Amino acid sequence: MDPTLLAWLRAQLGTATDELDLAARYARLGSARDVAAEVLSERRARLLAEPLRMTVDGVVTVDQSNNLAGVERQLAALADLLAPDDPAAGEPGIDLVTAPLAARRRR
């Protein structure tokens, strides 16, 4: 993974994200946008697995609902961002064309 790609991923996910984990995900997924989406989806799932709000009367209140909303906004905004490995505008992409196979008529 090149330094530009790693810098973009760290900007999206924070500097505490493990570089080796990001490299392994990039090798598996092949796209920086997919890596960021997977990490953010895991963070969202982790937040949803725990109670979002907990209150101990007169002692403490812990509210994670704003964190969840922030991760969801970040996931939604990821589609609009330009990743370093995205194809440039006007660059031809890979199109997949399929055609059904037909049996040959026998005489």
Q: What is the dihedral of CA 28, 30, 31, 37, to 10 degrees?
A: -20
What is the phi/psi pair of residue 74, to 5°?
A: -65, -40
| Alpha helices, DSSP H, located in 14-55 | 19-29, 32-49
Tokens of 26: 């990039």
Residue type, 28: R
Report the distance separating Cα 79 and Cα 95, nearest Å.
20
Mean pLDDT of 40-60: 89
Residue 56 has pLDDT above 80, yes or no: yes
Q: What is the pLDDT of residue 92?
A: 63
pLDDT above 80 for 91: no
- What is the reported pLDDT for 65? 87
* pLDDT > 90 in the chain, percent: 40
Residue 57 has pLDDT above 70, yes or no: yes
Average pLDDT over residues 42-62: 88
